[in-house]
Chains A and B, each alone.
Chain A
Amino acid sequence: MRMKRKTGTEPLKNAFRKWLDGDTDVFSELPEAARIHDISREEAKEDRKRVDRMIDASASAGAVVRAERKGFRTFYNIVAVISCAALIAMLLFLVGNLPRYGEENERTVEVVTRYVEKGLEETGAVNIVAGMILDYRAFDTLGESHVLFTALICVMILLRQDRRNMTSKVDSYASLRNDEYFDPSGDIIMRSVGMLLGSCIFLYGFYILMNGQNSPGGGFSGGAVMGSGLIIFSAAFGMKSVDRYFSFKLFSGLTFTALAFYSFAKGYVFFTGANGLENHIPKGEPGALLSGGLILPLDIAVGLVVACTMFGFYSLFRRGNIGSDTNLTDQL
C-alpha cells in the first residue's frame, strides 16, 4: 500500500537544500504510522530538557554537575589531541621505514620471487593475487569469509524482527510501514536507471567472479559487486520483487553450502599435507574460463558468501528481515 508523497508548500529545491543542511526533514508531513518514532524522539528530548531544568533548579548541584561536565570535556579534548598526535607520529615513522615503492628488498624478495616464478605451476592461477589468497594464504581467506558470516549473524541478532524477537507490535508495524512509505520503487528515474545499471552491474560482478583466476578480481570483489547489483534491484523495484527469488531459505542454504564446501576442500588440503585435491580442471591457461585448478570453485564459494552477506546487511538494516516473513505480515 503506497501513499502519495506530499512536497509541502515550499518549493522542492529549497526543501532539499534545507534537508541537506540538516535544518528540517523533507518528509515532515508523514502519515501517523510513520511518525511514531518521531513522536517518541521528541518526547525523549523533552524528558532530557526536564532533567536539565531539575538540575538547574538546585543551584549547588547544578554547579557541581556543570563543573564536572566542563572538566571532563577539557580532559577529553587534551587526551584526544595527544593520542591523535602520537598515532600520526607512529604511522609516519613506520611509513618512513618501509622499503621504497617498487624497490628490491632483501627481506621480501625471496617470497615475492617464489610467488612470481612458481605461482602459476603451483597454484594454477594466471592471476598471482588470486593464487596467493586462495592457495598460499587460503587459511586467511577462510577466516575472512567466516568473519563476514559471523558479523551478519550479529547484525541478525540485533536487528531481525520475527515473532519471537518482536519488542512491540507497534514498533514492528511502524518499521514495516516506514519501509513501504520510503520505498522509492514508484520512481520512474529509479526504475529506468535500475533496469539499465542493475543488470550491467550484476553481469560485471559475475564476470569478475568467474575470471578471478585470469584477471584482476576474484571472490571478494566479484561478490561485493554482485551484492551491490542486488541492492540496486531492490532499491529500484522494491523489496517485494527481490523477495520472489531471494528468500531466507535460499540465503541460508547458499551461505551454508558455500562455507561448508570451502571448509571441506581447504581442510582436506591442510590435513593431507597441502598436496591439494585431485581435480579435473586443467591448470593455468591464460584466458580460459575453466582453468586454475581448485581456484575457480573456491572463488565461486567466497563470492556467493560475500554477495549474500552484503545483500543481507542491506535487507536487515532496511526492514529488519531477509526475505519476506509472511507470518509477521499476517499477524499485524
Chain B
Amino acid sequence: MTLMEIFRIILLISLIICAVMVNTTKTLLQAVIIFMSYSSIMCLLWVIMESPDLAITEAAVGAGISGVLFLMTLKRLRAEDMDEDETEDRD
C-alpha cells in the first residue's frame, strides 16, 4: 500500500464523516461550515482522480460561493437560532 493510497483512504473516510456530521450538527451555521469542508475534501479527491477541471470548479463553487450563499440565506432568514423553535415543536 503506497502513501498515496493511504492518503486517499483517509480522505474518503473524512468525506463520509463530514457527510454524516452535516446531518447531526446542532446549528445550521456549523452544518454550512462542515458542508464547505466536505467540498474542499472532494476537491482534493478530484485532483487525485486526475480531473483538475472539476477540482477548480468544486473549489470555487462548492467550497466558496455556495457556502457564501448559504450564509447569506441564514442571515436573511435569521435562522442562526432556529433550532430552539424546532425543539419547541417536538414536545
Contacts and interface: CB of A to CB of B under 8 A. Distances in A.
Interface of A: 19-25, 37-38, 41, 45, 101, 127, 129-130, 182, 208, 216-218, 220-221, 224-225, 227-228, 231, 310, 313-314, 317-318
Contacts of B73: 317
Given A224-B64, A231-B68, A21 B75 contact: no
A221, A225, A231, A318 pick with most chain B CB within 10 angstroms: A221
B65 A224 contact: yes
Contact of A22 (B26, B51, B52, B55): B26
Contacts of A19: 80
Interface residues of B, number: 27
Contacts of A225: 56, 60
Given A182-B75, A314-B72, A318-B72, A228 B64 contact: yes
Closest CB pairs A-B (n = 9): A216-B52, A317-B72, A224-B60, A22-B27, A221-B56, A221-B57, A228-B64, A216-B53, A225-B60
Contacts of B84: 22
B57 to A, nearest CB: 4
A41 B55 CA distance: 41
Nearest to B27: A22
A220 B58 CA distance: 11
14 contacts: A19-B80, A22-B26, A22-B27, A22-B80, A22-B84, A101-B49, A216-B55, A221-B53, A225-B56, A225-B60, A228-B60, A310-B65, A314-B68, A314-B72
A88 B21 CA distance: 17
B81 A22 contact: yes
A317 B52 CA distance: 30
Given A23-B81, A227-B65, 20 more contacts: A20-B27, A20-B30, A38-B78, A41-B78, A182-B75, A208-B56, A216-B52, A216-B55, A217-B53, A221-B53, A221-B57, A221-B60, A221-B61, A224-B64, A225-B56, A228-B64, A231-B65, A310-B65, A317-B72, A318-B72
Given A20-B27, A20-B29, A314-B69, A224 B75 contact: no
B5 interface: no
